[in-house]
Amino acid sequence: MANHKSAIRRIRSNGKKRIENRYHAKTMRNALKKARMIENKEEAMAQLPHISSLIDKLAKRGVIHKNKAANLKSGLMKKINAL
């Protein structure tokens, strides 16, 4: 257990941030799964800006690494272009 007040506060705030980060990351993963299941190219292209925005926001906040964000977007574009 932490001995300093600031350490106790830090543990509390880290817990809150962790839960929020997990929520946003899971939301992004679910959106990616749904996008990968789409068979219609026009529908997939319509979803692309929303999903790219989610991925970019997570990378900007530091929830995921910027290279991972780039790889996810690249893979999604390959999938959509192959339709």
Predicted confidence (pLDDT) per residue in 41-72, tens digit: 999 999 999 999 999 999 999 999 999 999 99
Question: Domain for residue 14, yes or no?
Answer: no
CA dist., res. 51 & res. 46, Å (int): 10
pLDDT at 83: 87
Does residue 21 sit within a domain?
no
Q: Would 18 be classed as within a structural domain?
A: no
- Work out how many domains the chain is built from and give that number: 1
Is pLDDT of 1 > 80? no
Closest to 34 in 3D by CA, of 81, 67, 76? 76
pTM flag (> 0.85): no
Is pLDDT of 30 > 90? Answer: yes
What percent of the chain has a predicted confidence (pLDDT) above 70?
100
